[in-house]
A and B are shown apart, each in its own frame.
Chain A
Amino acid sequence: MLLALAAIGTAAGSVARDELVRLFRERRQRADLGILAANLVACSVAGAVASAGPAWHDLLALGFAGGLSTWSSLAVDAAGAVRARAWGRVALHIPAAFAIAIAVHAGARSLTGGAP
């Protein structure tokens, strides 16, 4: 059951991420901002369902949020920024994004009744 929920949720999350990245690439020529947006939305979803039942957790936190968020694309983008010596982009996507994501996750968690 867990694997089925994880598969369905991750497939949906991955499609949503790909579309979000495409929108940012086409409209703002910044695919990296699409990855950032997907990761922040996923952190808010994961925080919001942190105290939900096991099935919802498997579908939404492990599955959907896990598929919507990504470390691999972020890491490849950060690696590209290092290669291009774009240090501002590295700072935005690694330490700054981490701080924002922690705040978003804790905020969503406390809003839905879970401990921050």
Chain B
Amino acid sequence: MTRARRLCLVALGGAAGGVARALAATGVPMAAEAPGWGVPLLLAVNLGGSLLAGFLRGAFEREQQGGTHAEAKVEAAEALLLAGFCGGFTSYSGFIAAASAENAWLTVVTLAGCPSAALAGMWLSGGYPARPAGKPR
């Protein structure tokens, strides 16, 4: 895949992810009515995005190892869905901006929860056992 095609797919997926995140932050009725819901919604977005990303990573690894799909198709799907949509949907800067002493629970749950969600996604996709522990990525 050419670099220009990859960047177009990343931009398209990123735009969709950004709109989905903005809708979650502003479009959900309870967030509009009570601003205090913004932080839990951001947590849900980051956990959900990490779970989906782990699932996709595991699925793509399995596809590449199984050789059931053309490598170019997997690469395009990775650019659109993983680097694009999941990357645009989740936000590290939003998490840092929201992290404060008042909601230390957000920090703890996010820091522990997002990698755990990604691991859970890999396990759900069946991609987790494919790479033995101790082997570098």
A interface residues with partner B (beta carbon < 8 Å): 2-3, 6-15, 17-19, 21, 39, 42-43, 45-47, 50, 58, 61-63, 65-76, 78-86, 90, 94-95, 98, 101-102, 105
Q: How far is the CA of A80 from the CA of B115 in the complex (A)?
A: 9
B interface residues with partner A (beta carbon < 8 Å): 6-7, 10-19, 21-23, 25-26, 46, 49-50, 52-54, 57, 79, 82-84, 86-97, 99, 107, 110-111, 114-119, 122, 128, 131, 133-137
**Given contact pairs A70-B86, A71-B90, a sample of 15 additional A-B residue pairs in the complex whose CB atoms are under 8 Å apart:** A7-B19, A8-B15, A10-B14, A10-B17, A14-B14, A15-B7, A18-B10, A47-B97, A66-B21, A68-B93, A72-B50, A73-B53, A74-B92, A83-B119, A83-B131
Give the residues in chain B near A102, CB-CB below 8 Å: 96, 99
Q: Are B46 and A71 in contact (CB under 8 A)?
A: yes
With contacts A61-B93, A71-B114, A72-B118 known, is A3 near B19, CB below 8 A?
Answer: yes
Give the residues in chain B near A70, CB-CB below 8 Å: 86-88, 90-92
Give the residues in chain A near B10, CB-CB below 8 Å: 14-15, 18
With contacts A11-B14, A15-B11, A69-B92 known, is A62 near B22, CB below 8 A?
Answer: yes
- Secondary structure of the B side of the interface? helix
Give the residues in chain A near B122, CB-CB below 8 Å: 76, 79
Q: How far is the CA of A45 from the CA of B91 in the complex (A)?
A: 13
Q: Are A82 and B115 in contact (CB under 8 A)?
A: yes
- Secondary structure of the A side of the interface? helix
Interface centre among A63, A81, A85 (most CB of B within 10 A): A63
With contacts A18-B6, A66-B88, A71-B49 known, is A2 near B14, CB below 8 A?
Answer: no
Closest A-chain residue to B122, C-beta based? A79
Q: Are A13 and B14 in contact (CB under 8 A)?
A: yes
